[in-house]
Structure formats: C-alpha cells, structure tokens
Amino acid sequence: MRKNTCLLLGVALIVSQVACTADTSQTKTPAATSHIELDIFSGRPNPAWDLSAADTATLTGMIGSLPPSSPVYLPTPLGYRGFLVSVNEPELGPVVRMRAYQGVVEYQGYETRYYADPDKHVERWLLATARPQIDTQLYDSLLAEIGEQ
C-alpha cells in the first residue's frame, strides 16, 4: 500500500510539473548569467564583473566545444591564477563553477570535469571581457602571460 501511495504521489508530481510547464510556456524563463573574477591579487579584492545572458551562452558554447581532458592539477601561485566563473540560474543561484587557467577549464557542476584548451581561447575571451574592468597595464601584462593569437 505504501509503495502505491508513493508511486501515485510521484505521478501526481510529474503531472503537475508538466501542467505547470504547459501553462507557463508563454512566459520566457530568464537565461543564465555569469559572474567572473580575475584571480590575481593577494591582500586586496580581485577585479570582478558580470556577463550578460548572451555572453554566458557564448562562453558555455565555447567550453562545450572543447575536448574533455583527464583531471589536471591547477596550481595557485602568487600572481595570475586564472578566471573564476560562476554561472547563475535566475531561480537557483550559482549552479556551475569553473576555473580557466593554463589552457585547462575545470568545470564543477554535479561532477568535476576538465576540458583541454591548449590555445587558451577561453582565457583570452574572458580577458577581453575584463578590458573595461581593469587598467591597461594589468591588461597588457595578462595578455603577454596568456598569449595573443
């Protein structure tokens, strides 16, 4: 009897979710946005900025096109330590965290995955989004460290 009650409750929940989805199909759900932090300073706040939903879609598309990699140790020396990315769903808050550093993207969602980015496309793209947020000397220094292409 208890199993049947749980089964019926589960089915009722699924049906109500389907009904709610059907009723709200006219309203567009807000898309995910991202918060970026340039991990570089010790003893003072790191530069940080937000990406729009369109830029977040571009970023996730770039990462989705990268080949998987085996787990990699990403060191955290003094100075530049990569870009920290938090992808935020409007109703859930941060759902994915990533670090782009040294040609690797470490992706932490339900599980941790690694992607190879030997040409550092993701890091250079994120640096380009930082340009209005950081001074020219820091930008040029990071561009030299990450590498131009």
Q: Which pLDDT tens digit goes with each residue over 97-114?
A: 999 999 999 999 889 999
pLDDT computed for residue 97 by the predictor: 93
How far is C-alpha 2 from the geometric centre of its chain's CA atoms?
A: 42
What is the per-residue pLDDT for 89?
Answer: 84
Query: Residue 109: its pLDDT value, please?
Result: 86
Q: What is the mean pLDDT of residues 21-45?
A: 77
Whether residue 110 lies inside any domain: the answer is yes
Backbone torsion region of residue 20, taken as left when φ is above 0, otherwise alpha when ψ lies between -120 and 50, otherwise beta: alpha
pTM of the model: 0.76
**What is the C-alpha to C-alpha distance for residues 126 and 124, in angstroms, rounded to an integer?**
5
Token pair 């190879």 is at which residue? 116
Most distant pair of Cα atoms in the chain: their distance: 71
> Is residue 124 included in any domain, yes or no?
yes
Would residue 129 count as lying in a domain? yes
Q: Write out the two tokens for 56.
A: 């977040």
- For residues 65 and 114, what is the distance between their CA atoms, to the nearest angstrom? 12
Question: Is residue 7 one of the residues assigned to a domain?
Answer: no
For residues 43-59, give the mean pLDDT.
95
Give domain status of residue 14, yes or no: no
